[in-house]
Amino acid sequence: MRLVLVGPPGAGKGTQAQFLAAHYSIPHIATGDIFRANLKAGTPLGMQAKTFMDRGELVPDSVTNDMVKDRLLQDDLANGFLLDGFPRNVAQAEVLRANLTQKATPLTAVLELAIDSSEIIARLSSRRTCKDCGLPTVGNEKCPTCGGEVYQREDDKEDVIARRLEVYEEQTAPIISFYRSEGLLITVSATGAVEEITQRAISALSRVS
Ligand code: AMP
């Protein structure tokens, strides 16, 4: 299963990605997580990404595409992969397609998590993230998964959320039509309980894989 997960910030991509990656035994590749890990470790890549991330803007394609290309060369992809947060614009989608075509490993499907914009701000501004495992949570002082401390991501503060949503509409939403025209798009509603959404996704994906 070679899967891309797409949806606005706050649609629950990180949470669903975690369950779907476990279900299909495939690595969860989240570009935002890779950037945050680099930021935490103080690497040059992290430093390069920081100014863009703090403003809710996209990190330049040249940086992001190379980072994903390198990740897709690692040898843990025998069962496939789940990309979360990449591609974020049509140019990235085209680079990914070229890269996968060259390796004769095209995408199996692109799963869109659809959610009303009114729900997004409420979800994101109450979201906290674990300092240790990076998983999102709401209403907990400690991470329910690993017990780590939780914090509010700089880019989950309200002014940055507004910019991230604009960036999504302007730059990322067009990849939905791109993948629809490629015949790869599957859309499921991202409203409801986490487990229900996962089941919806698995059932929709069982029709294509
Ligand atoms: P996320 O955790 O997916 O919400 O990503 C957090 C931030 O990392 C984004 O707001 C961007 O600044 C950056 N980022 C993550 N993925 C990408 C990407 N595919 N292209 C450019 N920037 C990205």
| Residue 120 belongs to some domain of the structure | no
Domain limits for position 12: 2-115+173-205
Q: Ligand 1 atom closest to Cα of 30?
A: 3
Question: What is the per-residue pLDDT across 61-105, written as a single tens digit (0 to 9) for each?
Answer: 999 999 999 999 999 999 999 999 999 999 999 999 999 999 999
Residues framing ligand 1 (Cβ under 6 A): 9, 31-32, 35, 52-53, 56-59, 64, 85-86, 88, 92, 155, 164
Question: What is the per-residue pLDDT across 21-45, written as a single tens digit (0 to 9) for each?
Answer: 999 999 999 999 999 999 999 999 9
Q: Please tell me the predicted confidence (pLDDT) of residue 120.
A: 86
pLDDT band at residue 116 under the 50/70/90 scheme: confident
| Residue 128 belongs to some domain of the structure | no
| Residue 154 belongs to some domain of the structure | no
| Residue 124 belongs to some domain of the structure | no
Query: For the chain, what percent of residues have pLDDT higher than 70?
Result: 100
- Pocket perturbation via mutation, ligand 1, pick of 6, 84, 88, 171 by most ligand atoms within 8 A of CB: 88
* Domain count across the chain: 1
Set 13, 36, 123, 128: catalytic member: 13
- Residue 13 annotated in active site: yes
What is the mean predicted confidence (pLDDT) over 158-185?
Answer: 95
The CATH number that applies at residue 91 is: 3.40.50.300
| Residue 147 belongs to some domain of the structure | no
DSSP state of 30: E
Nearest alpha carbon to residue 67 among 36, 103, 112, 21: 36
| Residue 64 belongs to some domain of the structure | yes
- Residue 128 annotated in active site: no
| Residue 130 belongs to some domain of the structure | no
| Residue 125 belongs to some domain of the structure | no
Of 207 and 186, the structure prediction assigns the larger pLDDT to: 186
Please give the biggest Cα pair distance in the chain. 46
Mean pLDDT of the chain: 94
Torsion sign, CA atoms 111, 107, 174, 134? positive
CA distances from 28 to 1, 117, 121, 133 (A): 12, 25, 25, 13
Q: Please tell me the predicted confidence (pLDDT) of residue 181.
A: 98
